[in-house]
Structure 1
């Protein structure tokens, strides 16, 4: 089974020409949140967004006529914000954030943070792959991303080239992928983003703050790859990175959480993602919890309800009812 059924494709090219820009504006806001969308309504011929969630990571292939999107205010969220990593495959893109203005050429890569004001201008017909990852999964905060935003990676060499080729291939073949690829692909793409950011932070590692952010990226990347290991704990992370448990707690405190809570929240997020998948309906909640290291079945329901407001069984039932409606 391919993931085509979970890929959302929205296009305005077949709509009434007089309504195409309005429809595009609505779709951009629905996909990306509260934004101002500016463009030439009379010349806007259409656009298409193909979007798929790969666990925590969301991949979008976007093609459209020239327009500009603006986020004017800081955005706060209970679950935290997101970082976008974008690769223009056709046409250049102009990004403004944190007092920096850059032009991102075709084939390069750039990051921006959706929780802070930014302007993204596409002055010509374009195609772009945009990958969105939550701050929490990267071990970052909106403040700590300023070291990596609005500063493009060269897409012709090194990890920048690897990212461009990976994103382009992912966007081009999204509809062909097997459903079983969703989880490992999400982990792989998250790891690639981590590698991009680590390269940028490593160059500034003489700065103690940058060094701590780099260490957090590495710790969170390793932890995400081993969530299914019930032995994963703050103590094992501290031993692996040869730091004290106290210093590990300080690192996570800078992100507004603790290592134990971060691990638990990541495991619950994976469980929640599994409960949205019909292909796992034959598995019990306890079995799904065990996949992600939640081995105490008596605690899974309580923790899930504390996090999401409903029990896992009620969450699954509501999903089934929504599909049937």
Structure 2
């Protein structure tokens, strides 16, 4: 049995009259149309870096708008995944409209404007994911913003079941279990995005998307190779280094910048898993992920996550 200090807790928040501070804390700053006599109940859990919310409200003609004036650096670095369970929402985003109902999942970026109209009776799962974390699993996530992704099967169904069961049993989850839960949820959402993108539904041509997917798979399989380079990646999937660079540039990143982001994310996961047991030295984790210089790794890690590896683990710097 886990002790209280070794487990994480969920909480329940009730909202009758509109409480901006509640919405700001659970979601992000918006302009909310909230009628009198409305009521909402939020069940909240915080697995790892994520925020998981199950919302249930009874509120006729409610809607929310996120505008430029609501945005700041702190709360704009997130994606939100929404999965309606009862009722639905209608979204206006980037000049497009999208309806989400039960069995569908949609993603929005908090650094972009949108408007959401909600059904009078709505129950939904919401997952707040740090932007850098989701992009480390799904580089092309911006290509599927507020598209209705199928959550009736495969990874979508896994997200729904895992999130729902996590909220109902979260008080029995250990700290380590919560971090593994967060990794699974983001991984599943990332797989949904990649499947949508790589099926040629959006963005680049199907051919280019397939090449991007192959390149990312090759990188994942060779992250620990300190000699990994654009040329070796290109050779490994049978294209030119210039074409490889063009494909990644279309996604707003260079091949080696993507390699570094994936290595840093791999190190972050290992540091989290070893935070309490301390079974691996920081330098060993860095070398295992393909970094050749601990000092440059420390600088890159702090630039990416705002803390040095030793601060992240809560340890003193190692010699």
- TM-score (norm. length: structure 1): 0.72
Residue in 2 that maps onto 1:322: none
Listed as ranges, the matches of 1:59-78 within 5 Å are 59-65=51-57, 66=59, 67-73=62-68
Q: 1:96 is paired with a residue of what secondary structure?
A: strand
Q: 2:45 is paired with a residue of what secondary structure?
A: strand
Listed as ranges, the matches of 1:124-273 within 5 Å are 124-133=120-129, 134=131, 136-140=135-139, 145-146=142-143, 148-157=144-153, 160-182=156-178, 184-204=180-200, 208-209=204-205, 211-213=207-209, 215-216=211-212, 219-220=215-216, 223=219, 227=223, 234-272=230-268
Residue in 2 that maps onto 1:94: 90
How far the C-alpha of 1:265 sits from its partner, in A, is 2.9
Q: Which of the numbers 297, 300, 303 marks the counterpart of 1:303? A: 300
- TM-score (norm. length: structure 2): 0.73
Relative distance call for 1:309 and 1:29 in structure 2 (3 A) is closer
How far the C-alpha of 1:199 sits from its partner, in A, is 3.4
Unpaired stretches in structure 2, ≥5 consecutive residues: none
How far the C-alpha of 1:170 sits from its partner, in A, is 4.2
Residue in 2 that maps onto 1:123: 119
1:34 aligns with 2:35: no
Residue in 2 that maps onto 1:12: 13
Structure 1 Cα separation of the partners of residues 180 and 78 of structure 2: 20
Relative distance call for 1:138 and 1:212 in structure 2 (3 A) is farther
How far the C-alpha of 1:117 sits from its partner, in A, is 1.3
Residue in 2 that maps onto 1:279: 276
Relative distance call for 1:174 and 1:46 in structure 2 (3 A) is same
Unpaired stretches in structure 1, ≥5 consecutive residues: 320-325
Contact 1:138/1:217 (8 A) holds in 2: no
Relative distance call for 1:44 and 1:54 in structure 2 (3 A) is same
